[in-house]
Amino acid sequence: MSCIVYGANGYSGSLLARLAVSRGERPILAGRSAGPVCALATELGLPYRIGPPSPELLDGAEVLLNCAGPFAETAPAAVAACLAAGVHYLDITGELDVFERMFGHDAAARAAGVAMITGAGFDVVPTDCLAALLAAELPGAVALELAFSAPGGLSRGTARTAFGEMGAGAARRVGGALVPTRYGSPSRVVPFPSGPRRVGATRWGDLVTAYRSTGIADITVYMPLPPGAALAPAFRFGPLRRAAQALVRRGGPSAARREGTGCEAWAEVRDASGRPAGPR
């Protein structure tokens, strides 16, 4: 299957390209930055294309894997190109708004005969599976709390996305509706396997995906808050947010850091009487 890795010049895109080659695959590398994309393609002996997502860029491909974040900026054009070209779409986002918009493309994707799969990385896959497992153990659950901790560090794209998410504030699912709340509020202590840790509410894709996979109407997703979280409201101011994003350096966690750290997830559901299932 012919696959284009878009954003191959970025941290996650380059890792995925190297992994694909190690498994005998030959993806087409693509992105806007000609120098880095060309250099990686030459190193790996792969074909490449330069430019924004478009039907022309996707010519002859069957799948587009979008690794270029923030996905709120890149996904709309990439999705439109895939629908026009009849190409399957995947990305690795965790951005709530991207998940919410993706469901709006269901009819168009069915008509085009393509799959639109968002959040195909870590983001919601393990936590959504955990939520579904607990919901199956407690039929009639009305409340779900999820938390995760990923201390390994951030790529440049994820860090830039984080500034935007902090500026937007947190959100919760209440009575089936998405309700905005202050970033980090509410907070609680979660008993992760490595030990208890205080976490705060955030904007995360599970508020969209777990709602659909479990039918639970009240959902809160937590994570450990980054340093400077108290300044989150300041990033609503566009020029300040863009200035902070511009300061983020390229790169991400080293191979040793990735090898030496892991992720932890926790979840609990409760029914209308307050009876819990979990935690897990």
Residues 216 and 143 sit within 8 Å (Cβ to Cβ) = yes
Cβ neighbours for 45, distance < 8 A, ≥ 6 positions apart: 21
Residues 78 and 89 sit within 8 Å (Cβ to Cβ) = yes
40 three-state secondary structure: helix
Cβ neighbours for 159, distance < 8 A, ≥ 6 positions apart: 245, 248
Query: What is the C-alpha separation between 67 and 100, in angstroms, rounded?
Result: 18
Angle at 245 between CA 243 and CA 246, to 5 degrees: 65
Residues 199 and 222 sit within 8 Å (Cβ to Cβ) = yes
Give the pLDDT confidence score for residue 169 in this predicted structure. Answer: 75
DSSP string, 189-247: EEEETTEEEEEEE---THHHHHHHHH--SEEEEEEPPPTTGGGGGGGGSHHHHHHHHHT
Give the pLDDT confidence score for residue 166 in this predicted structure. Answer: 60
Structure tokens at 95: 């951005």
Give the pLDDT confidence score for residue 260 in this predicted structure. Answer: 77
Structure tokens at 35: 């120098």
167 three-state secondary structure: helix
Give the pLDDT confidence score for residue 243 in this predicted structure. Answer: 52
Query: What is the C-alpha separation between 253 and 12, in angstroms, rounded?
Result: 10
Strand ranges (E), the chain: 3-6, 28-31, 48-50, 63-66, 88-91, 116-117, 141-149, 170-174, 177-181, 187-192, 195-201, 218-223, 264-271, 276-277
Give the pLDDT confidence score for residue 237 in this predicted structure. Answer: 45
Ranges of residues in the chain whose predicted pLDDT is under 50: 237, 240
Give the pLDDT confidence score for residue 245 in this predicted structure. Answer: 55
